[in-house]
């Protein structure tokens, strides 16, 4: 019987891994686009049974570990390999005295949700992903400020990672005018704008919707900002349900899963 080994990935693993990471979703997969970046960041883990049969990537920060990109060769599924990878990362996080682990799972991915729950993860929040088409639009009255941000947005999305919004990051985003809000009518709506680190000219927006009017005000500005800065796509992540329009399309809904490692 072969011994299961978990180790750090190396360049030579790429072709083997990508061979079974081509048709993960109906539209394909993104592992080929992030492989080099994840490899250089470190903590890109391979699980092997004579040969590499699975991967995942972990990002460790001060108070959490973010687990992403779990992929298992279809010929080796249902052997508990995903669980082994997750437990391995959790063990590293505990050694680093990191209190929480997070991951993102499609609400329709019932097998992965069940696995996560069996490992002690709970649904922390549910988020919606919308695609917004860049478009010149000057019908907005947004403001730049960070005084509401940390209380309203404890996590923000950076390259599809839900990261803690600490004071240093918030001040940096504020200086770049990447924190915007609208309060012209009803409860305040806030957004944080970030560039994708893995895909060229993709704008990623963390949106907290207050009133419909204020949210539409932000979306108008974001569309215009995207068009003026020649972004190919605008990806909006929000906990709220937004009304579909000709330029705003709901793509998928995810559960943000959380586990205490104490």
Instruction: Please determine, for residue 1, whether its predicted confidence score (pLDDT) is greater than 60.
Output: no
Instruction: Name the pTM for this structure.
Output: 0.91
Residue range 41-66: average pLDDT?
Answer: 94
- Per-residue pLDDT band for 140 (boundaries 50, 70, 90) equals confident
Q: What is the pLDDT of residues 227-252, one digit of tens each?
A: 999 999 999 999 999 988 889 999 99
3-state secondary structure of 35: helix
Higher pLDDT, 250 or 153: 250
Residue percentage of the chain with pLDDT more than 90 = 72
Distances in Å between the Cα of 149 and the Cα atoms of 9, 128, 220 are 37, 20, 20
- Domain chopping of the chain, boundaries: 5-98, 128-257
Tell me the helices (H) and strands (E) count for the chain, helix number first.
7, 14
Pair 255, 108: CB distance under 8 Å? no
pLDDT, position 126 = 97
Gap between the Cα atoms of 147 and 151, Å rounded: 9
123, pLDDT greater than 60: yes
- pLDDT over 60 at 262, yes or no: yes
Average pLDDT along the chain: 91
9: closest CA among 50, 38, 49? 38
Q: How confident is the model at residue 147 (pLDDT cuts 50, 70, 90)?
A: low
Q: Which of 148-157, 172-181, 248-257 has the lowest mean pLDDT?
A: 148-157
Instruction: Tell me the CATH number of domain 5-98, given options 3.50.50.60, 3.40.630.30, 3.40.50.720, 3.40.50.300.
Output: 3.40.630.30
**Residue burial 23-44, b: 16+ Cβ < 10 Å; e: rest:** eeeeeebebeebbeebbeeebb
């Amino acid at each position: 019987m072969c011994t299961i080994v978990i180790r750090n990935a190396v360049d030579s693993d790429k072709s083997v891994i990508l061979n079974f990471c081509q048709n993960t979703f109906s539209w394909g997969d993104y592992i080929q686009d992030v492989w080099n970046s994840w490899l250089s960041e470190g903590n890109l883990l391979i699980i092997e049974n004579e040969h590499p049969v699975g991967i995942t990537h972990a990002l460790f920060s001060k108070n959490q570990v973010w687990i992403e990109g779990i992929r298992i060769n279809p010929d080796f599924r249902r052997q508990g390999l995903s669980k082994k990878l997750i437990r391995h990362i959790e063990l590293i996080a505990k050694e680093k005295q990191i209190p929480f682990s997070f991951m993102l799972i499609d609400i329709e991915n019932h097998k992965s949700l069940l696995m996560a729950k069996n490992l002690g993860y709970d649904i922390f929040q549910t988020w919606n992903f919308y695609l917004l088409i860049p478009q010149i639009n000057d019908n907005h009255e947004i403001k730049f400020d960070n005084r509401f941000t940390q209380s309203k947005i404890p996590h923000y999305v950076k390259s599809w990672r839900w990261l803690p919004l600490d004071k240093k990051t918030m001040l940096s985003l504020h200086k770049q005018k990447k924190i915007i809000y609208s309060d012209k009518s009803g409860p305040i709506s806030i957004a944080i704008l970030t560039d994708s680190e893995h895909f060229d000219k993709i704008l990623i927006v963390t949106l907290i919707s207050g009133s419909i009017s204020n949210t539409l005000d932000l979306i108008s500005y974001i569309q215009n900002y995207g068009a003026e800065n020649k972004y190919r796509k605008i990806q909006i992540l929000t906990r709220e349900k937004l009304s579909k329009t000709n330029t705003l399309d709901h793509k998928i809904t995810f559960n943000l899963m959380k586990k205490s490692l104490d």
